[in-house]
Chain A
Amino acid sequence: MKKLFIITITAASALLALSCSKVIEFKGEQVEEKLVLFAEAKEGEPFTVNLSHSVFFLDAYNGLDKYIRHINTDSCRVEVSFNGGKPVSMTYLPGEEPDPYFFHVGTLTYVCNCIPSAGDEIEVSVSAPGYDPVKASVSVPRQPQAVIRSHSVTDTVSYDYYSSVKHNITLEINDPGQYSKYYRLNALQVYKDPDDGEVSVSGIFSIYSSDPVFISTLSDLDGIIDNIENIDSAESERKVPDFFSDQLFFGGSYSLTFNFTRSEYSYDPTIGYEARKAVRRAAADLPYGESLAILLRAVTPGTYYYLSSRDNTGGDFALFAEGSVIYSNVDGGYGALCAGADLFFVLEN
Chain B
Amino acid sequence: MKRLAIITFLILASLHAYAQRQTISGHMTDGTSGEPLIGAAVLDITSGQGTVTNNFGFYTLTLPAGTHSLEFSHIGYNTERRQVQLLRDTTINIAFRPDAEFLTGAVVTASRSETGVRGTQMSAIEVPVNVIKSVPAIGGEVDILKTLQLLPGVQSGTEGSAGMYVRGGGPDENLLLLDGVPLYNVNHMMGFFSVFDAEAVKNVTLYKGSFPARFGSRLSSVVDVRMKDGNDQEYHGGFTAGLIAAKFNLEGPIVKGRTTFNISARRTYYDLLVAPILYFFRSDFDADKLSAGYYFYDVNLKLTHKFSDRDKLFASFYTGDDAVYAGIGYESRYNTEMYSEGRMRTVTAIDESNLDLGWQWGNTIGALRWNHVFSPKLFLNTTLNYTRYRHKLGIDMLENNRYENKGKVLMQGDTSQIRMTYNSDISDISVGTDFEYTPSPDHDVRFGLGATYHDFNPSVTSMYIRFTQDSDPGSKIDTTFGDKPVKTWEAALYAEDNFNVTRWLKLNLGLRYSLYSVSGRTYHSLEPRVSMRALLTDDLSLKASYTEMSQYIHLLSNSNLSLPTDLWVPVTANIEPMRSRQAAFGVFYSLGVVDFSLEGYYKTMSNLIEYRDGASFLGTTTGWEQKVAVGRGWAYGVELLAQKSVGRTTGWIGYTLSRSVRVFDREGNMINYGKPFPAKYDRRHDLSIVVTHKFDEHFDISGTFVFGSGVCGSLATSQIASPMDGLLASGDINHDFGIFTSTSYLEGRNNYRLPAYNRLDICAAYHFGRRLNKTISLNVYNAYNAQNPFLVYRDTESTMVQTTAPDGSVSVEYASRPVLKQLSIFPIMPSLSFSYKF
Contact = CB atoms under 8 A, between A and B. Distances in A.
Nearest to B558: A320
B827 A18 contact: yes
Contact of A233 (B277, B477, B733): B477
Interface string A88-115: 0000000110100011111101010000
Given A60-B817, A274-B727, A317-B619, A28 B715 contact: yes
Interface string B599-629: 0000000000011111111111111001000
Contacts of A16: 270, 829
Contacts of B716: 57, 323
Which residue of A18, A27, A326 has the most chain B CB atoms within 10 A of its CB atom? A326
Contact of A111 (B270, B731, B752): B731
Interface string B726-761: 111111111011111111111111011101000000
Given A242-B621, A312-B613, A317-B616, A57 B744 contact: yes
B731 A57 contact: no
A319 B739 CA distance: 26
Contacts of A218: 619-621
Contacts of A31: 717-718, 747
B481 A240 contact: yes
B273 to A, nearest CB: 5
Contact of A273 (B465, B729, B755, B824): B729
Contacts of A60: 815, 817-818
B478 A233 contact: yes
B720 A334 contact: yes
B11 interface: no
Given A39-B730, A57-B744, A240-B481, A215 B626 contact: yes
B621 A45 contact: no
A241 B616 contact: no
Nearest to A316: B619
Interface in A27-71: 27-28, 30-31, 34, 36, 38-40, 42, 45-46, 48, 50, 52, 54-60, 62, 66-68
B728 A39 contact: yes
A277 interface: yes
A67 B477 CA distance: 49
Interface in A156-215: 215
Contact of B787 (A20, A228, A233, A309): A20
A319 B558 CA distance: 10
Contacts of A242: 621-622
A20 B827 contact: yes
B436 to A, nearest CB: 46
Contacts of B797: 23
A62 B714 contact: no
A311 B725 CA distance: 8
B621 A228 contact: no
A107 B752 CA distance: 29
B724 interface: yes
Interface string A134-148: 000000000000000
A32 to B, nearest CB: 9
A349 interface: no
A106 B734 CA distance: 19
B722 A335 contact: yes
A245 to B, nearest CB: 11
Given A52-B720, A60-B818, A104-B741, A109 B731 contact: yes
Given A57-B718, A59-B818, A321 B619 contact: yes
B739 A325 contact: no
A42 B732 CA distance: 11
Contacts of B723: 38, 50, 273
A77 interface: no
A96 B277 CA distance: 59
A26 B715 CA distance: 11
A117 interface: no
Which residue of B621, B720, B822 has the most chain A CB atoms within 10 A of its CB atom? B720
A27 B752 CA distance: 9
B609 to A, nearest CB: 12
Which residue of B465, B479, B714, B726 has the most chain A CB atoms within 10 A of its CB atom? B726
B611 A322 contact: yes
Interface string A1-35: 00000100110110110111111111110110010
B614 A36 contact: no
- Of the four ranges (under 10, 10 to 19, 20 to 34, 35 or more), the interface on chain A belongs to 35 or more
A239 to B, nearest CB: 7
A325 B715 CA distance: 10
A16 B728 CA distance: 49
Nearest to B618: A317
B516 to A, nearest CB: 25
B731 A324 contact: no
B484 interface: yes
B721 A106 contact: yes
Contacts of B13: none
A311 to B, nearest CB: 7
B672 to A, nearest CB: 6
A332 interface: no
Interface string B742-783: 111111110111010000000000000000000000000000
Contacts of A126: none
Contact of B728 (A28, A40, A98): A40
A274 B737 CA distance: 11
Given A106-B721, A334-B745, A217 B613 contact: no
B749 A323 contact: yes
Contacts of A39: 728, 730
Contacts of B615: 312, 321-322
Contacts of B130: none
A66 B622 CA distance: 40
B683 to A, nearest CB: 15
A52 B526 CA distance: 56
Contacts of B742: 66-67, 103, 105
17 contacts: A15-B827, A40-B730, A48-B731, A54-B720, A62-B815, A66-B742, A67-B719, A96-B737, A98-B740, A105-B742, A109-B737, A218-B620, A237-B480, A239-B481, A317-B616, A317-B618, A325-B749
Interface of A: 6, 9-10, 12-13, 15-16, 18-28, 30-31, 34, 36, 38-40, 42, 45-46, 48, 50, 52, 54-60, 62, 66-68, 95-96, 98, 102-107, 109, 111, 215-219, 225, 228-229, 231, 233, 236-242, 270, 272-274, 277, 280-281, 306-307, 309-313, 315-317, 319-326, 334-336, 338
Given A237-B479, A274-B727, A317-B616, 18 more contacts: A20-B787, A21-B823, A27-B755, A57-B818, A59-B719, A103-B742, A104-B740, A105-B740, A236-B481, A273-B723, A273-B729, A310-B726, A313-B614, A317-B619, A320-B561, A321-B615, A322-B560, A325-B746
Interface of B: 243, 270, 273-274, 276-277, 280, 418, 465, 475, 477-481, 484, 558-561, 563, 610-623, 626, 672-673, 714-734, 736-749, 751-753, 755, 787, 790, 792, 794, 797, 815-827, 829
